[in-house]
Chain A
C-alpha cells in the first residue's frame, strides 16, 4: 500500500439512521458489496478522501521510479537491466491508471501533480530511503512490493469501481515484481561473501521502513473507521503489518538472513510473530520531508516538471495548430 495517514471527514461514521435517503442508499449499496461508479451520487467526503488516497498512491508510483531507476544504468546483467526497466515502466503505467481513476472523481492529473510538487500531497515514506547496493533492488521488490501487495490485493474489492479495476491490473504486475525481487535476493545469498553481506545489509536497512509503509496503528482512528465503512480501506494497518511480518519472516529464514529485530519471536498463543514497532519518530520526520532522500526526490520531480515544460507546451501548441489547419481545410 502506498497510501499512509489518509484523512477522511474526521467526523466519525454515521449510522444508517442518521443519513439522509441519498446517503443511506449509497451506504447500503456499499454494504451489499456493490460498486460506486463515477456518475453515481457520492458524499463529498467519500470523493475527497478517495482523491487523497488514489492521488497519494499515484504519486508513490511516480516517485517510486527514482530509487529503482538509480540502478538501471548499473544493473549487473542485461537480463536484470531489462527486468528492472520493465518494472519501472510498469510503475509509470500504474501511476497513469491511478491518475485516470482519480480524474473520474473530478480532479485533473496536472492539479494532482502540482499538489505533489508543492508538497501539499505526499507519497509513501518508503521512497525517501536510498538504494545503495544491487541487493537493494532485491529488497525493494521482496519487501516493499511485498508490503504494497498486502493492501492492494484487498483493494481489488474496494467500493469505487475505477479504483478497484485499476487495482486488479496493478496487482498482477506487483506480484511479478515481488517474485523478481525475491529471485535477486536468492542469487545474492547463494553468491559470494560480498553478495551475502549486501543482502543482509539491504534487509537491515529496509526492514523497519517496510513496516512503516502500513502507517501507525489506526485501530482507534476515526479516519480509518470511516474509510473502512466506505470500503476504501479494507483492513487496519496493524492487521496488514502483522500479515506482512508473518509472511516475510519465514522467507528471510529461507534466505538465511537475519531480521534485524531481537524481539522477533513466534507467539504460539496468538499464532503470529511478536515483533518490534518501527521508530515512529523517524516515520513522522520522513513525512515532514526529512527522509534521507526527501530533498533529492522532490528536486528530481520538480526538475523533471520544470525542464519538461517547453516539451509539454510545444506538443500542445502543435496539436492546436494541427486542429486549426484541419478546420481551415474543411
Chain B
C-alpha cells in the first residue's frame, strides 16, 4: 500500500475532481438559466476543493508533484474516487440525484474532518464544508421539488435513484487506508456516518415521495482504484488530452 495519508488525500481530491468534471459538462445546456449558474458554481467549488486536496497530497508525497501533476498525469488505476461520481450525467434528474447522494455523504464526512488531528486537513474541510452545506441544501430542495412535481418528473427521479442506489455503499466502506486514518485521528470511520446519512436520505425521499430501493448490494472498486467503471477512462481522455499532447508546455 502507498502512504495511506497520500491515498486518503487523493480520494478526497479525486472525488471532487471527477464530480466537478461531470458537473461542468452541463455548461450552457441546463434546463433553466438559474441552473446554469448553480451548476457552474458547484463545479467551481469542487475544482477549488480539488486543488486544495491534491496540492496537499503532492506535498505529503514529497516527489515534487502538485495538484495539476496529480490531476492531469495519472492514469485510471491511480485514481481513487468513488464509482458514484464517475457515473454519466444522464438527464438532469440523474445529475441532481448523484449530486444529492454525494453531497449528503460529503457534508457528513467533511463535518467529521473539521476535527481532524491533521491541521491542514481540518482547514480544508472547514473551508469546503461551507460550500458543501450550500450544495446539499440546493440538491435537497431540487430532489424534493422534482420528486414531488409532475408525474414525469417523479418517474425520472425514481429511476435516477434506482440507477444510482447501488453506488451509495462504497462511500461508507472501510478499508486499510481508512483504518490508518482512524488510528491517527486524521479521518473518521466511514461506517460510523452511515446512520445519519440513512436518516437524512429517508427524510428527503419521504418529502420527495420517492421509494427507497430494496437491497444492500454495493458496487466497489473506485475508492481503492482496483476497478473503476469504463466511464473514468473517457473522462480522463478528455480532461488530460491537452497536457499529454503538449507535455512540455506551461499554460
Please give the residue numbers on chain A whose beta carbons come within 8 Å of chain B beta carbons, in ascending order: 62-63, 65-66, 68-69, 72-82, 85-86, 88-89, 92-93, 95-96, 99, 109, 134, 184, 187, 191-192, 194-195, 300-301, 303-305, 307-319, 321
Q: How large is the interface on B (under 10, 10 to 19, 20 to 34, 35 or more residues)?
A: 35 or more
Beta-carbon nearest neighbor of B242 in chain A? A76
Please name all residues of chain A whose beta carbon is closer than 8 Å to the beta carbon of B71 when the two chains form the complex: 78
Contacts of B250 in A (CB 8 A): 187, 191
B27 on the A face (CB < 8 A): yes
- The 8 Å CB contact of B251, one of A63, A80, A300, A315, is A80
Contact of A187 among B41, B93, B243, B251 (CB under 8 A): B251
**B145 is an interface residue with CB less than 8 A from chain A:** yes
Q: Tell whether, in the assembled complex, residue A74 and residue B31 are in contact, meaning their CB atoms are under 8 Å apart.
A: no
Residues in chain B near residue A317, CB distance under 8 A? 149-150, 153
Instruction: Provide the residues of chain B in CB contact with A99, threshold 8 Å.
Output: 33
Say yes or no for B29: interface residue by CB 8 A criterion.
yes
Q: Which residues does B use to contact A, with CB under 8 Å?
A: 21, 24-25, 27-37, 40-41, 43-44, 47-48, 50-51, 54, 67-68, 71-72, 91-93, 142, 144-146, 148-150, 152-154, 156, 238-239, 241-243, 246, 248-251
Contact assessment for A310 and B150 in the assembled complex, using a CB-CB cutoff below 8 Å? yes
Pair B48/A82 contact, Cβ less than 8 Å: yes
Chain B residue at minimum C-beta to C-beta distance from A79 = B51
Taking a contact as CB atoms under 8 Å apart, the answer to whether A81 and B40 are in contact is no
Report the number of A-B residue pairs with Cβ-Cβ less than 8 Å: 149
Starting from the known contacts A195-B246, A308-B35, 9 additional A-B residue pairs (CB-CB under 8 Å) come to A74-B239, A77-B68, A81-B47, A89-B37, A92-B37, A194-B246, A304-B29, A311-B93, A316-B149
| Closest CB in chain A relative to B19 CB, distance in Å | 13
What residues of chain A lie closer than 8 Å to B54, measured between beta carbons? 78
CB distance from B35 to the nearest CB of A (A): 8
Does the CB pair A92–B40 fall under 8 Å?
A: yes
Report yes or no: A73 in contact with B145, Cβ–Cβ below 8 A. no
A133 nearest CB neighbor, chain B only: B242
- Cα distance, A194 to B238, chains bound together (Å): 19
By a CB distance below 8 angstroms, the chain B residues around A65 are: 27-28, 36
17 contacting pairs across A/B (C-beta < 8 A): A62-B28, A73-B24, A74-B239, A74-B242, A77-B68, A77-B72, A78-B51, A78-B54, A88-B27, A95-B33, A96-B34, A134-B251, A300-B28, A301-B29, A307-B91, A310-B150, A318-B145
- Cα(A287)–Cα(B154), bound, Å: 41
Shortest C-beta distance, B160 to chain A (Å), equals: 12
Contacts of B25 in A (CB 8 A): 73
Say yes or no: A313 contacts B153, CB within 8 Å. Answer: yes
Task: List A contacts of B32 (CB < 8 A).
Answer: 308, 311-312
**Also in contact, A319 and B145, with CB within 8 A (given A79-B51, A187-B250):** yes
Contact A73 B31 (CB under 8 A): no
Q: List the 8 closest A-B pairs by CB distance, nearest first.
A: A308-B31, A314-B153, A314-B149, A69-B27, A65-B28, A76-B251, A89-B40, A311-B31
Contact status B91-A314, CB under 8 Å: no
